[in-house]
Structure 1
Amino acid sequence: MSRKVVITGIGVVSPLGNSPAALWQALSDGQSGLQLLPESMSNGIPTVAGLCQFDSSQWFSKMQLSGMDRVSQFAVAAADMALQDAGLAGQDLTEAGIYMGCGMGGALAIEQAYKAHFETHSRLSPLSVVAGMTNAPAAQMSMRFKVQGPVMTYSVACASSAIAIGEAARAIARGDIDLAFAGGAEALLGSGVIHAWQAMHTLAKPDPDHPEASCKAFSSERSGLVLAEGAAVLMLEEASAAIARGTTIYAELAGFGISADASHLTKPDASGQQRALKAALKSANLAPADIQYCNTHGTATHVGDEVEAQALSSLFGTTLFASSTKTLHGHLLGAAGALEAAITALAVHHRQMPPGIAHLPQDPKCPLQLVTEHNRGQLPAPTHAISNSFAFGGTNAVLVFSQYA
């Protein structure tokens, strides 16, 4: 038996704000959360990133923070906001589940431990291991909210949190659980991790006049991705329970598709992406013509954008409108799928397509109908929308969101 799964709460910590309302307003205004990093973080190499404004004291005591990396702080805060948003605060969550995605775990705790060992030769924190483990965000959420059902962590690079959300939805649809926290968190903007990404030569060259506009997805002038930090958590519920509570339903999570390219660690494959797109549509019982909007993976890498545009245009033709919201909030890596899932659910809820920055000239090899702040008012209201998350390693994940009826 397959049950309908709906989104009743959204919590975010993002470069565009720490609430669904703030996030949606920033997107609607075309406001960028990207900025030049200080040299102490960027190794003296000009680098743009998406940083979060986050006050940990709203959620944690000094004692709690002593063993908690920034990534876990983000996760717990976003989960708490999602719980409040869904009207479930104070409820018994014993039988609920937690499904989280995270690419690099407590990267800052690990970096701090290495610096203590190799640079200052000082005492390492005895909590370095538990602060740095990849499942720490989900574990901290479990303890905070007394969740004793399945507590799962998916680490599949940039597809991590999209897969976590899809697997949570499957568990609810099967009847394994009725309620789940589902999302992802990432906080890796330390000098060591940034230096590693710089060594790959995949980061965007800062725009000399407007560094906040350095992520130029689908443009002929794109030069690479922009790293970011943050978290997003969705409260997923079985539909009839949500209706009985009389709570707001943002959207139905109608479909989920996953595939692997099995070809290259970093070079994407259009046929692999199409398999995930087709699987997602099949699970939602929808045809390509039913989908109005796609929140693309759109990282602004040369190969990535071209391959994704090829996969989308081959399957959807000219009926689909698309944007890369990464042009405004950056690439959250393991948490990217969760933040973009939240944005896509909000798009269906508000019946508007969120714009990205459409940098001209658009690459003719990326023949997509892009949503911008200039044309979004003339575009159709989306009733069905998809969010793409395509990972290093070749794993592809696609989520389908529909207006609940």
Structure 2
Amino acid sequence: MKVASGKWLVARAPTPTLPRKRERGQQSRLPFSLSLRERAGVRVVLLATCHLLLATALIACSPPPADESLDVAIAMGGDDTAGYLRADSPREFRFPEDHGPHPGFRNEWWYVTGNLEGEDGRRFGFQITFFRVALTPDVPESPSAWATDHVWMGHFALTDTGTGQHHAFERFARGAAGLAGAQRDPLRVWLEDWSLEAVAGNDLPWRLQLEEAGISLDLEFTPRKPPVLQGDAGLSQKGAGEGNASYYYSMTRLDAVGHVGLQGQRHGVSGSAWLDREWSTSALAEDQAGWDWFALQLDEGRELMYYQMRQQDGGADPHSKGLWVDTDASSRLVRREDVDLEVLDHWRSPKTGVRYPVAWRLHLKPEGRVFEVRAVQPAQEMRLTVRYWEGAVDVYEAGVPIGRGYVELTGYR
């Protein structure tokens, strides 16, 4: 696979079978193959589907030669936008309708992270992302049940702080033959037997059900705050280019209750989760390398989302931004100049050799707050087709624990 002028060049060769499920590099096979066009389509815009083009979502790092993972700048460098809708001006958001799919856009994702505790105090972090990637803006003309204009990818991870283990899985499927898809009413997003769906109708509460290799999540989410719109009334500009933006909203405080299945044992858990929803037809600009995304839930009832788009020279892109959500659900835009972000510590993955930051000092200047954010454990790397770091964190202020959250890091080498 090579790149020229931001587009993939795909050599003609027998179509390889993509991994259906994989944990830490171990993969099983799909019962069918995605075509070269579908495989290339996934890889070109894979990351334009996760928690930051988000904020989403997507995600990845440059691999060593022996690794097949994708670099975020390449994966999001595609410029095939003709025929798709663009996020180029503010729009009216309608709920619960906008919880459902927006198929006119090239990329879309449903992304949930959270921190859970068992009855015995055992702590878990989790993330699940359903990515929809369009292959063409045209509806397939073939009468075949396998014909599709979308490919789906799912990422599921569980951090078990009791053992220090981090489990990461992925799946791929065509948006055909009932294998994967999204519907608006009743709300349901699924990839085979992984699903996120409304308990009734299309609004919350929602139920999440995942199972892979003996590890499972069965959670119900109930909102404590309404959706908040990111960026300019939900239009989140990611770069200077026209249309380099997404429509983006979050639900920053969801009560989560249910069960974690692990090693043959079922743990009753409860905690707090965060939902990000984005859809766009966009990509990273040539001078952007990746992003650092923070979703912090403070015990006092406030939340902070901040993403720093990183430029190729290591500097922060001026389009970096976030949102400060108050206890009454009112929110304020956080601009790049409102934040000083300093890395305090790093961790180098023994598996990939990639060096990631794992502790930060975040100064939110308008609020006069200085937070220290630390990973609950450094080993939370997602070593999948698209490689990145995503994990549970603790939040401190003046040395006192005051909250929890999740951080996503892409584009590190």
More helix by share: 1
The TM tier, using the shorter chain, reads under 0.3
Name the TM-score, length of structure 1 as normaliser. Answer: 0.28
Q: Tell which has more relative contact order, 1 or 2 (C-alpha 8 A, sep 6+).
A: 1
More strand by share: 2
